[in-house]
């Protein structure tokens, strides 16, 4: 059975960024207008008054300080609170594919080999721009790659599920190299009018090239083992889909938020998610490490899903058996926020330094489903 190697990674970061201060100002302006417009209903108890947000609330709840987005103007407009992303014709490269291609081009350049050696493209992400044609096939065409391509969606765990799928293709001999991309336009499914979640997400795209060990150049990361887990839960949910259109009034032409369909966007029960997911993931990591004969307390570094700093710190302490050093439990969500499937890959891409051959690390993601994936890697000479 051929072993898999993570040979290269890539990252596309949007040019625009929104600070907590900017986001809070926009939300509070919206909340003030809402409360004024519904003053009578609020006084009667028929409508709940909106509570202002604050920088302190956001940072305590999440550890997030800013987020990159494709369009900040629409998000920060109290009359809109939705990114403005103009539609493109079918003859143009779609916006999600464009992001993925930019991240992939960076990974391919770092890899240093022709795309003709790539046999498959996977687009693994939470938020697909459309059902079909598959986003992966559009990326495949844009990059001039032969073979096959398909999309996969396991929410925030999509990247680790994608790495395992790629490694399995390598092990079976189906292909010699796989390109996996994780483009995420998370700002488009976030309800920026909801105080409890308006700060969570950002936009980004990552790319990973997984290659057969017997043809890989020196360096990179040997995939020591992969494991996946899913458990059904409604505590993180997004009901936005093509059937929503069938539920709209015949004269409805405005965005979801204007039609009172914000329940079709991202919603979560944060405390329940923390209580359920954190121990599940920590136990999964420790059990998987034991199966691979790896001492989890000796991990050089963990690149965890970047959802919430409190979750990451708890998992880090449970796995290492002590308080992790900053370089051992990488945090990038302060700058990028939650970028769903891309978060752990951003952390991995930006913080691979300081490893000697044979030292081990962990790429781990977790999220809606519930879903979780662990990928143990070892630095190659």
Tell me the C-alpha distance between 300 and 62, whole Å.
Answer: 25
DSSP 52: P
Our CA dihedral for 229, 161, 92, 336, rounded to 10 degrees, sits at 80
Residue in 273, 129, 260, 127 with CA at minimum distance from that of residue 196: 273
Cα–Cα nearest to 179, from 232, 131, 133, 136: 136
Smallest Cα–Cα separation from 33: which of 69, 71, 67, 81?
A: 81
Distance CA 364, CA 326 (A): 17
Q: Rounded CA gap, 353 and 212, in Å?
A: 23
Give the pairing of strands 16-19 and 301-304. Answer: unpaired
Considering 123, 156, 186, 364, which one is annotated as catalytic? 156
Whether the bond into 370 is cis, omega within 30 of 0: yes
Residue 123 is a catalytic residue: no
Write the CA distances from 300 to 66, 77, 168, 294, 376, integer angstroms.
Answer: 28, 44, 25, 12, 11
Q: CB neighbours (10 Å) of residue 243?
A: 9
| Tokens (6 digits) for 199 | 């700060």
Residues 122 and 162: beta-carbon distance below 8 Å: yes
Catalytic residues: 156
């Amino acid at each position: 059975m051929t072993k898999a190697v993570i040979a290269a990674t890539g990252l596309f970061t949007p040019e625009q960024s929104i600070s907590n201060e900017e986001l809070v100002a926009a939300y509070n302006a919206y909340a003030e207008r809402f409360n004024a417009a519904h003053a009578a209903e609020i006084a009667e108890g028929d409508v709940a008054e909106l509570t202002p947000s604050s920088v302190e609330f956001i940072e305590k709840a999440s550890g997030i300080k800013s987020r990159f987005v494709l369009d900040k103007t629409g998000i920060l407009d109290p009359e809109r609170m939705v990114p403005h992303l103009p539609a493109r014709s079918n003859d143009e490269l779609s916006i999600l594919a464009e992001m993925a291609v930019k991240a992939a081009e960076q990974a391919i350049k770092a890899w240093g080999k022709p795309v003709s050696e790539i046999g498959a493209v996977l687009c693994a992400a939470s938020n697909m721009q459309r059902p079909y044609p598959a986003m992966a096939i559009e990326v495949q065409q844009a990059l001039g790659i032969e073979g096959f391509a398909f999309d996969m969606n396991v929410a925030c765990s999509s990247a680790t599920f994608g790495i395992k799928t790629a490694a399995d293709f390598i092990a079976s001999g189906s292909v010699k190299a796989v390109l996996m991309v994780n483009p995420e336009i998370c700002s488009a499914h976030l309800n920026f009018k909801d105080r409890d979640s308006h700060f969570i997400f950002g936009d980004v795209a990552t790319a990973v090239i997984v290659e057969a060990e017997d043809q890989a150049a020196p360096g990179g990361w040997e995939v020591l083992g992969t494991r996946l887990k899913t458990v059904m839960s409604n505590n993180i949910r997004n009901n936005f889909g093509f059937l929503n259109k069938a539920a709209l009034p015949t004269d409805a032409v405005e965005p979801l938020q204007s039609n009172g369909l914000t329940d079709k966007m991202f919603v979560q029960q944060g405390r329940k998610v923390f209580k359920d997911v954190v121990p599940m993931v920590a136990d999964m990591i420790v059990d998987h490490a034991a199966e691979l004969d790896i001492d989890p307390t000796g991990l050089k570094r963990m690149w965890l899903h970047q959802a919430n700093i409190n979750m990451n710190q708890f998992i880090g302490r449970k796995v290492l058996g002590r308080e992790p050093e900053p370089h051992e439990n990488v945090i990038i969500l302060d700058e990028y926020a939650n970028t769903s499937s891309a978060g752990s890959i951003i952390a991995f891409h930006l913080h691979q330094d300081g490893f000697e051959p044979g030292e081990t690390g962990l790429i781990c993601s977790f999220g809606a489903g519930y879903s979780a994936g662990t990928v143990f890697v070892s630095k190659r000479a």
